[in-house]
A and B are shown apart, each in its own frame.
Chain A
Amino acid sequence: AQTVTQSQPEMSVQEAETVTLSCTYDTSESNYYLFWYKQPPSRQMILVIRQEAYKQQNATENRFSVNFQKAAKSFSLKISDSQLGDTAMYFCAFTPRRAGGTSYGKLTFGQGTILTVHP
């Protein structure tokens, strides 16, 4: 079984500053995907960024980047130039990648980190 742990229940940051959200996971799988999802007050689940475990290069999407440390089973999210619209709950999620299987969509989520961006 996989577990995902987000040890920071809440974080805050000033607008335009940088913040890093932590995530660790535990799995015996060798091939998998990791994700960060954003959930604003509307409660919609919005994909922020994804990382494929077999790629050593850290994923980047505009102001969002990850620090993926496979050996340490760590997957942190860095938000640069924070904006007020980044205020949301952020979930880290994991899914094993099995060839031809449906496990791609079976995500295990962490507990979430509430991020507040202050003006």
Chain B
Amino acid sequence: EPEVTQTPSHQVTQMGQEVILRCVPISNHLYFYWYRQILGQKVEFLVSFYNNEISEKSEIFDDQFSVERPDGSNFTLKIRSTKLEDSAMYFCASSGRTGGLEKLFFGSGTQLSVL
């Protein structure tokens, strides 16, 4: 089965630093998403991206966050100035039609630790 790939699997950064989380969605998918999960809590939607622009974003996705699809294969999430509360697992996902059914595929996540 096709996979969404995320790198790195674990990122440690200092508060106030910029981080970029990288994702390679499944090649023929058109819709891309970022979710996050603070340890022990539920998974929360951050942003959806389609046709090279944000289609929806949550309240969490403030001006410190941005997304980009720089080269037609990668999909990145940038946090400009990290805060302690940004520590979480960040999941990338993409969706497309598989066997006639639309399906959402998640990557294995990037654990971000802000110190």
Binding site for B on A (CB under 8 A): 42-47, 91, 93, 102-112
Contact = CB atoms under 8 A, between A and B. Distances in A.
A44 B31 contact: no
Contacts of B93: 45, 105
B104 A47 contact: yes
Contacts of A46: 106
Interface of B: 31, 33, 35, 37, 41-45, 48, 50, 55-56, 89, 91, 93-95, 102-104, 106, 108-109, 111
A80 to B, nearest CB: 24
Q: Is the interface of B mostly helix, strand, loop or mixed?
A: strand
B42 A106 contact: no
13 contacts: A43-B89, A43-B108, A43-B109, A44-B106, A44-B108, A45-B106, A91-B43, A104-B31, A104-B102, A105-B33, A106-B56, A107-B35, A112-B42
A102 B50 contact: yes
Contacts of A106: 33, 45, 48, 56
A112 B42 CA distance: 7
Contacts of A110: 42
A27 to B, nearest CB: 15
- Give 10 nearest A-B pairs by CB, closest first: A45-B106, A109-B43, A105-B95, A109-B42, A102-B55, A44-B108, A105-B33, A111-B42, A102-B50, A105-B104
Contacts of A45: 43, 91, 93, 106, 109
A43 B103 CA distance: 19
Q: B37, B45, B104: which has the most chain A beta carbons within 10 Å?
A: B104
Contact of A109 (B44, B50, B55, B89): B44
A43 B111 CA distance: 10
Contact of B45 (A43, A44, A108): A108
Contacts of A104: 31, 95, 102, 104
B29 to A, nearest CB: 10
A109 B41 CA distance: 10
Given A43-B89, A44-B109, A45-B91, A107 B102 contact: no
